A and B are shown apart, each in its own frame.
Chain A
Amino acid sequence: MKNIPRISMVLAATVMVLVFFFPIWRITLIAPQYPTGITMYIWINQITGETTGTLQNINILNHYVGMQMIVPDSIPELQYFKFIIGAVMLLGLFAAIMNKKWIYLAWMILVIVLGILAVYDFYLWEYDYGHNLSPTAPIKVPGMAYQPPLFGKKLLLNFEAYSYPFWGSLFIGISIIFAFFAFWFKRPKDVQYEK
Chain B
Amino acid sequence: MKMKNSTLAGWGIIALFLISGCSPKGSDEKSSPFSSDVASKVYVAPGQHDEFYAFLSGGFSGQMSVYGLPSGRLLKVIPVFSLDAEKGYGFNEETKPLLQTSYGFIPWDDAHHPELSQTEGIPDGRWIFINGNNTPRVARIDLSTFETVEIIELPNSGGNHSSPFTTENTEYVVAGTRFSVPVPQKDVAVESYKENFKGALSFISCDPVTGKMDVAFQVLLPAFNYDLAHSGKGASHGWTFFTCYNAEESNTLLEANASQFDKDFIAAVNWKKAEEYVKGGKAHDFPTSFYHNIYDDNAHMATSEQIKSVKVLIPAECPGLVYYLPTPKSPHGVDVDPTGEYIVGAGKLSADMSVHSFTKMLKAIEDKAFEKEIQGIPVLNYDAILAGVVKSGGLGPLHTEFDANGNAYTTFFISSEIVKWKVGTWEVIDRSPCYYSVGHLMIPGGDSRKPFGKYMLAMNKITKDRYLPTGPEMNQSAQLYDISGDKIQLLLDFPTVGEPHYGQGIPADLIKPKSKQFFNLAENTHPYVTKSEDQTKVVREGNVVRVYMTTIRSHFAPDNIEGFQVGDKVYFHVTNLEQDWDVPHGFGIMGATNAELLIMPGQTETLLWEPKSEGVFPFYCTDFCSALHQEMQGYARVSKKGSDLKLKWWTGSAK
Contacts and interface: CB of A to CB of B under 8 A. Distances in A.
Contact of A60 (B522, B552, B631): B552
Contacts of B553: 60
B579 A51 contact: yes
A56 B522 CA distance: 13
Nearest to B522: A52
A57 B602 CA distance: 13
A100 to B, nearest CB: 52
Nearest to A49: B579
B628 A56 contact: no
A64 interface: yes
Contacts of B601: 53
Q: Is the interface of B mostly helix, strand, loop or mixed?
A: loop
B627 A52 contact: no
Contact of A64 (B552, B579, B580, B628): B628
B627 A53 contact: no
Given A52-B520, A52-B522, A53-B518, A64 B578 contact: no
A57 B577 CA distance: 10
B579 A53 contact: yes
**Residue among A52, A53, A138 with most chain B CB within 10 A:** A53
Interface size class of A (residues with CB under 8 A): under 10
B579 A52 contact: yes
Nearest to B602: A53
Contacts of B626: 64
Contacts of B627: 64, 138-139
Contacts of B520: 52
Nearest to A38: B580
Interface string B559-581: 00000000000000000011110
Contacts of B631: 138
A54 to B, nearest CB: 8
Q: Is the interface of A mostly helix, strand, loop or mixed?
A: loop
A109 to B, nearest CB: 44
A139 B578 CA distance: 21
A138 B580 contact: no
Contacts of A52: 520, 522, 579
Interface in A25-62: 51-53, 56-57, 60
A60 B553 CA distance: 7
Contacts of A51: 579
A51 B583 CA distance: 15
Contacts of A53: 518, 578-580, 601
A57 B580 contact: yes
Interface in B392-414: none
A56 B576 CA distance: 13
A32 to B, nearest CB: 12
B232 to A, nearest CB: 44
Contacts of A138: 627-628, 631
B404 to A, nearest CB: 35
B579 A57 contact: yes
Nearest to B628: A138
Contacts of A139: 627
Nearest to B579: A53
A56 B628 CA distance: 17
A26 to B, nearest CB: 19
Interface in A53-99: 53, 56-57, 60, 64
A159 B628 CA distance: 17
Nearest to A33: B582
A53 B601 CA distance: 10
A52 B580 CA distance: 9
A172 to B, nearest CB: 32
B391 to A, nearest CB: 55
Interface of A: 51-53, 56-57, 60, 64, 138-139
Interface of B: 518, 520, 522, 552-553, 577-580, 601, 626-628, 631
27 contacts: A51-B579, A52-B520, A52-B522, A52-B579, A53-B518, A53-B578, A53-B579, A53-B580, A53-B601, A56-B577, A56-B578, A56-B579, A56-B580, A57-B578, A57-B579, A57-B580, A60-B552, A60-B553, A60-B578, A60-B580, A64-B626, A64-B627, A64-B628, A138-B627, A138-B628, A138-B631, A139-B627
Given A57-B578, A60-B580, A64-B628, 9 more contacts: A52-B522, A52-B579, A53-B579, A53-B601, A56-B577, A57-B579, A138-B627, A138-B631, A139-B627
Q: Which 8 A-B pairs have the closest CB atoms?
A: A53-B579, A57-B580, A60-B553, A53-B580, A56-B579, A138-B628, A52-B579, A60-B552
